Structure 1
Amino acid sequence: MSIKYTPDHEWIEVHGDGTATVGITVHAQDALGDVVFVDLPEVGKTYAEKEVAGVVESVKAAADVYMPVDGEITEVNESLRDDPSLANSDPLKAGWFFKVKLSNPAQLDPLMDATAYDALLKTL
C-alpha cells in the first residue's frame, strides 16, 4: 500500500486489489478548522478525475473534495457522516471519506508522494 497526495490536499491510499481509500490531508483539515458536516458520494456512482465527489464544511469554510482518479465509489465512511470531527482528529485513518475502484491506475503516477507533498506545503 502506498499513499499519494493531490495538489488539492486529498490523499489516496492504494490497495493491492485495484481499490483505494480517499480522504483529506492534515493540512486541509488544519486550514478548514473544526469540521461540522460532510457530504459523501453515493456508493456505485462513477466519477472522473478532478470531479467533485463530496463536500466538507467547517465552522470557517466549505470545501469540495475532488476525486483523485477515475473510478467507482465502493464504500463511504458512515462513521464520518455521524461524527464529522473524525476528519480533524484522525484525517489519515478513521477520518477517511470513501473507497474507490480504480478505473485507470496510471492516473496515480503524477500524484505526489509524501516528500513531494511536504515540499508543496512549504511553498504555501
Structure 2
Amino acid sequence: MADFPENLKYTTEHEWLDQSTPAVIGVTDVAAEALGDVVYLELPEVGATIEAGSVVGEIESTKSVSELYSPVSGTVAEVNTEAVDNPEIVNQDPYGKGWLFKVEVSGTGELLTAAQYAEHTGA
C-alpha cells in the first residue's frame, strides 16, 4: 500500500497541497510514477492569478504530456526554478525538493485527505 503524507491534502488529478503560507503544490508519487521520467515542466508565472481546478501548466515526460491543475485559487508567489532546471527531481522527491509552485491562497477546490486519496488511487 502506498504511503501518502498525512499532513498534505490531495486532488483527484494527483496534485498535493501543503496548506502552509504560502501554500506549496506538487504532484504525487502516483502521478510521477505514472508519467515516467519527467523531462520538462511548464509552471504558472509568479504573480499570475489562478483558479482552483483550472489548468495552470504542463508536465512532460518520456511517455506523455499531462496537464497540471491547481488545487487552490490565489496568486502564484513562487515557482521551483530548481525543478524547472532539473525536472527529474519531481520523480526523485515529489513531496520534497520536487514541489512545483507556491500560492497565496484565496480559496480552495475539492481536497482529499491522505486516506481518501489512497482509496481514490486504489493504493
TM-score, normalised with respect to structure 1: 0.90
Matched, 1:90 2:93: yes
Structure-1 residue corresponding to 2:121: 121
CA RMSD, 1 decimal: 1.5
CA distance in 1, matches of 2:52, 2:15: 12
Structure 1, residues 31-54: CA drift from partner, whole Å, max 9, x if none? 000000001110000011111111
Q: What is the alpha-carbon distance in structure 2 between the residues aligned to residue 100 and residue 54 of structure 1?
A: 14
**TM-aligned CA deviation for residue 4 of structure 1:** 0.2
**Equivalent residues in 2 for 1:30-109 (5 A)?**
30-104=33-107, 107=108
Please list every run of 5 or more consecutive structure 1 residues that lacks an aligned counterpart in the other structure: none
Normalising by the residue count of structure 2, what TM-score does the alignment of the two structures yield? 0.91
Structure 1 position 82, deviation (Å) = 0.7
Deviations 1:45-89 (A, max 9, x none): 001111111110000000011011111000000000110001100
Identity of aligned residues (%): 41
Structure with bigger RCO (C-alpha 8 Å, 6+ apart): 2
Equivalent in 14, 18, 25 of residue 9 of structure 1: 14
| Count of aligned pairs between the two proteins | 118
